[in-house]
Amino acid sequence: MLKGKLKLPLPEKARRVFPDRLGSLVAGFDDKEEDNGGSDIAFEPGEELETFQPNGFGSDRASDDDKKFQEELEVKVRPRPDKDGAGPASVSRVIAADEKRSDLEYELSRPEINLEKLQRIASTGLPDGGRLRAMAWKLLLGYLPPSRDLWEKELTENRKKYANLKEELLQSPSEFTKRKDGTFSSDEQHVDSDMDGPLQRQGISPEDHPLSLGKASVWHEYFQHTEIVEQIDRDLQRTHPDMKFFSGDSSFSRKNKEAMRNILILFAKLNPAIRYVQGMNEVLAPIYFVCTTDTDEQNAGNVEADSFSCFVRLLSDSVDHFCQQLDNSAVGILSTLSRLSELLKANDEELWWHLEFTSKVRPQFYAFRWITLLLTQEFNFQVILRIWDSLLGNPFGVQDMLLRVCCAMLLCVKSRLLSGDFVANLKLLQHYPDINIEYLLQVAQDLSPDTSSFRLSP
Residue 254, domain member (yes or no): yes
299 plus 442 within the same structural domain: no
In terms of domains, do 285 and 421 share one?
A: no
Mean pLDDT computed over 2-25: 40
pLDDT at 94: 87
Asked whether residue 86 is domain-assigned, the answer is no
Please check the confidence at residue 151 and state whether its pLDDT lies above 70: yes
Among 92-106, 131-145, 170-184, 270-284, which range has the highest average pLDDT? 131-145
Asked which of 299, 316, 333 is the last residue of a domain, the reply is 316
Residue that wins the pLDDT comparison between 77 and 70: 70
196 or 277, greater pLDDT: 277
Asked if 302 and 338 sit in the same domain, the reply is: no
Among 294, 316, 338, give the residue marking a domain's end: 316
The band of 129, judged by pLDDT with boundaries at 50, 70 and 90, is: confident
Return the higher-pLDDT residue of 33 and 397.
397
Domain assignment of residue 60, yes or no = no
* pTM across the whole model: 0.76
Residue 180 pLDDT exceeds 80: no
Number of domains the chain contains? 2
Residue 303 sits in the same domain as residue 399: no
Indicate the pLDDT class of residue 34, thresholds 50, 70 and 90: very low
Structural domain for 398, as ranges: 324-446
305 close to 162: Cβ distance less than 8 angstroms: yes
Which residues fall within 8 angstroms of residue 439, CB to CB, at 6 or more apart? 412
With respect to residue 79, please indicate whether it lies within any of the assigned structural domains: no
Q: Which of 289, 316, 343 is the last residue of a domain?
A: 316
Q: From the CB of residue 230, how many other CB atoms can be counted at a distance below 10 Å?
A: 10
Q: Confirm whether 97 is domain-assigned.
A: no
Instruction: Give pLDDT, residue 156.
Output: 97
Q: How confident is the model at residue 214 (pLDDT cuts 50, 70, 90)?
A: low
pLDDT at residue number 198: 57
Q: Do 121 and 251 fall within a single domain?
A: yes
DSSP 327-356: TTSTTSHHHHHHHHHHHHHHH-HHHHHIII
**pLDDT score at 448:** 81
Do 301 and 362 sit in the same domain of this protein?
Answer: no
Give the orientation angle of helix 251-270 with respect to helix 64-76, to 10 degrees.
Answer: 70
Are the beta carbons of 123 and 390 closer than 8 angstroms? yes
Q: Considering only CA atoms, give the Rg of the chain.
A: 24
Asked whether residue 266 falls in the same domain as residue 250, the answer is yes
Examine the pLDDT at 327 and tell me if it is beyond 80.
Answer: no
Q: Which residues contact 160 (CB under 8 A, 6 or more apart)?
A: none
Predicted confidence (pLDDT) per residue in 422-458, tens digit: 999 999 999 999 999 999 999 999 998 644 344 433 3
Report if residue 39 sits inside a domain.
no
According to DSSP, residue 358 is labeled I
Would you say residue 383 has pLDDT above 60?
yes
pLDDT at 190: 47
Looking at the structure, tell me whether residues 270 and 154 fall in a common domain: yes
Given a cut of 60, is residue 210 above it in pLDDT?
Answer: no
Q: How many distinct helices (H) and strands (E) make up the chain?
A: 23, 0
239 in the same domain as 131: yes
Q: 147 pairs with which residues across the strands? A: 112
Residue 376 sits in a domain whose CATH number is 1.10.472.80
Pair 333, 274 in one domain: no
How would residue 82 be classed by pLDDT, with cut points 50, 70 and 90?
very low
Region 129-152: mean pLDDT is: 96
The predicted structure's pLDDT at residue 74 = 47
- Are residues 367 and 286 both part of a single domain? no
Residue 56 lies in a domain: no
Are 217 and 271 part of one and the same domain?
yes
